[in-house]
Amino acid sequence: MIKSVKGTRDILPPSSGVWNKVEAAARRVFETYNYQEIRTPILEETRLFARGVGEETDIVSKEMYTFEDRDGSSLTLRPEATASVMRAYIEHRLDQQPGLQKLYYIGPMFRRERPQKGRYRQFFQIGAEAIGSDSPMIDAEVIEMVTAVLDAAGVSGYTLLINSVGCPACRAKFVAELRERLRDVAPKMCSDCRRRVETNPLRVLDCKVPEDQPVVDSLPSILDYLDDACRAHFESVRQYLTDRGIAFEVRPRLVRGLDYYTRTTFEIVHGALGAQNSVLGGGRYDGLAEALESKVPAPGIGFSIGEDRLVMMVEEAHPEWQSRPLDLFIAPLGDDAKRHCGIVARELRGGGLMVEVSTDHKLKRALEVANKLGARFALIVGENEITAGSYQLKNMTTGDQRQVTRAQIAEMVSTG
Ligand SMILES: [Zn+2]
Ligand SMILES: [Zn+2]
């Protein structure tokens, strides 16, 4: 038997119904903030991610699905979407469009991580990017929008964490200080930390290994190293969030795994998910366009929500999101009735009702199926009914059965 590839999965009904509802809720929220959808290819040139995500990140160094195309070029299945969105922004000169570019995306990403519960090698992200401004107003708006998406998905009990990682100027001083402080203690830390001290000391702050925590806790806070401009920016973001009644916690240890982040970073965690409790992460990436060789600066901020985990939470909180109940199950009794029912079903579906026509025309069996499918109503159609133009409509919840004309079916089912 051929099975799905390790780390990938089929999203089956009724779960797929929840996915659709979550995505529809996100789209509705994005539109109210004047975001439009962008669909970028799943395949990109490998160097886009090497530059845009960073050669030394885990994603690029060990998790990408990279292969040589038939013409010898190196292609990669996208491990995230921000680099692609920025590539599209630069390629299509979207900086010349009026106003900010506010773009959202929904789709699959690929990372060859160790598969575990709630984590997949093909996973889905819902994300958005606002490109073209470094104003803290945009940071606050993006963060507000993220909370609106969670609210629309019916998720509650989450915590918003925010931080600033400064700009290259002030961060350089902090990183130098970190390196200095880590030099003596690094040999006792985990292998990732020992490597990071050389490649990206900022990421030591992100270490989750329990034994390393006393060292991590003793390290200086990046907030003490922000220059005036970065400090003012962060203060404004906090002020705007407070103005809007959005609760947050400042976490100076919150740095992101990707190199291009500047200033505001944020994350939303949810208690119900245990150790892997991050639902989404995001931040500002004012240096990304330059990293991709754009001559036009393009400051931006964005986020991505792990949709697999979000759906898991929604399924727990709202089992009723799984499926819309079937409105009507039609059971034809006999061959003429089959033809007639096809016509009636077409009419009712045209009016927006969800209708199923039985192929199994023994009455008792048909009603059993209607019951198992959770149909709200069942319509029994035999030769007599067709001749008389009057049908038996059964309310499957109450058991109530009544005679209705063809014209009455839609109204009875819609209101019943
Ligand atoms: Zn700075
Ligand atoms: Zn460590």
Distance CA 167, CA 260 (A): 10
What is residue 324's predicted lDDT score, i.e. its pLDDT? 82
Residue whose C-alpha is closest to residue 366's, from 332, 327, 343, 399:
332
Q: What is the maximum span of the chain, computed from C-alpha positions, in angstroms?
A: 93
- Rounded distance from Cα 206 to ligand 2 centre (Å): 8
- Rounded distance from Cα 236 to ligand 2 centre (Å): 33
- Rounded distance from Cα 170 to ligand 1 centre (Å): 4
Ligand that lies nearest to the alpha carbon of residue 210, given by its number in the listed order: 2
| Sheet strand arrangement including 355-357 | 355-357, 328-332, 377-381, 390-395, 401-405
Ligand that lies nearest to the alpha carbon of residue 197, given by its number in the listed order: 2
What is residue 361's predicted lDDT score, i.e. its pLDDT? 67
Kindly write down the DSSP assignment for every residue of 203-256, as one continuous string: GGGG---GGGHHHHHHSPPGGGG--HHHHHHHHHHHHHHHHTT---EE-TT---
Residues 6+ apart with CB under 8 A from 285: 82, 86, 258, 260, 261, 262, 299, 300, 301, 302
Domain definitions of the chain by residue range: 15-167+227-320, 328-415
- Rounded distance from Cα 332 to ligand 1 centre (Å): 73
Ligand that lies nearest to the alpha carbon of residue 182, given by its number in the listed order: 2
Cβ–Cβ < 8 Å for 310, 22: yes
Distance CA 84, CA 105 (A): 11
CATH class of 328-415: alpha beta
- Rounded distance from Cα 177 to ligand 2 centre (Å): 18
Distance CA 389, CA 382 (A): 11
Cβ–Cβ < 8 Å for 251, 257: no
Number of Cβ atoms within 10 Å of the Cβ of 18: 23
pLDDT (mean) for 390-415: 93
Can you tell me whether residue 15 is helix, strand or coil?
A: helix
Cβ–Cβ < 8 Å for 416, 377: yes
- Rounded distance from Cα 226 to ligand 1 centre (Å): 5
Number of Cβ atoms within 10 Å of the Cβ of 374: 13
What is residue 246's predicted lDDT score, i.e. its pLDDT? 97
- When the pLDDT of each residue in the chain is averaged and rounded to a whole number, the result is 92
What is the percent of the chain where pLDDT is above 70?
A: 98
Cβ–Cβ < 8 Å for 361, 331: yes
Number of Cβ atoms within 10 Å of the Cβ of 76: 21
What is residue 276's predicted lDDT score, i.e. its pLDDT? 54
Residue whose C-alpha is closest to residue 313's, from 267, 255, 268:
268
- Rounded distance from Cα 82 to ligand 1 centre (Å): 22
Can you tell me whether residue 371 is helix, strand or coil?
A: helix
- Rounded distance from Cα 48 to ligand 2 centre (Å): 28
Cβ–Cβ < 8 Å for 31, 144: no
Q: Across the strands, what pairs with 390?
A: 405
Residue whose C-alpha is closest to residue 259's, from 229, 219, 306, 292:
292
- Rounded distance from Cα 209 to ligand 2 centre (Å): 5
pLDDT(274) > 70: no
Query: What is residue 54's DSSP assignment?
Result: I
Ligand that lies nearest to the alpha carbon of residue 203, given by its number in the listed order: 2
Question: 43 exposed, middle or buried (CB, 10 Å; 0-12, 13-18, 19+)?
Answer: middle
Residues 6+ apart with CB under 8 A from 248: 143, 160, 161, 162, 238, 241, 266
What is residue 320's predicted lDDT score, i.e. its pLDDT? 85
- Rounded distance from Cα 385 to ligand 2 centre (Å): 75
Ligand that lies nearest to the alpha carbon of residue 174, given by its number in the listed order: 1
- Rounded distance from Cα 169 to ligand 1 centre (Å): 5
Ligand that lies nearest to the alpha carbon of residue 223, given by its number in the listed order: 1
- Rounded distance from Cα 186 to ligand 2 centre (Å): 9
Ligand that lies nearest to the alpha carbon of residue 231, given by its number in the listed order: 1
Note the pLDDT tens digit of each residue in 146-192. Answer: 999 999 999 999 999 999 999 988 888 999 999 999 988 888 999 98
Distance CA 60, CA 66 (A): 10
Residue whose C-alpha is closest to residue 147's, from 267, 20, 307:
267
Note the pLDDT tens digit of each residue in 86-136. Answer: 999 999 999 999 999 999 999 999 999 887 877 899 999 999 999 999 999
- Rounded distance from Cα 228 to ligand 2 centre (Å): 31
Lowest pLDDT segment from 32-36, 103-107, 143-147, 257-261: 257-261
- Rounded distance from Cα 83 to ligand 2 centre (Å): 27
- Rounded distance from Cα 218 to ligand 1 centre (Å): 23
What is residue 258's predicted lDDT score, i.e. its pLDDT? 63
pLDDT(62) > 80: yes
Number of Cβ atoms within 10 Å of the Cβ of 358: 24
Rounded to 5 degrees, φ, ψ at 44 are -140, 165
Lowest pLDDT segment from 274-278, 318-322, 397-401: 274-278
- Rounded distance from Cα 231 to ligand 1 centre (Å): 7
- Rounded distance from Cα 163 to ligand 2 centre (Å): 20
CATH class of 15-167+227-320: alpha beta
Cβ–Cβ < 8 Å for 350, 322: no
Whole-model pTM above 0.75? yes
pLDDT(272) > 60: no
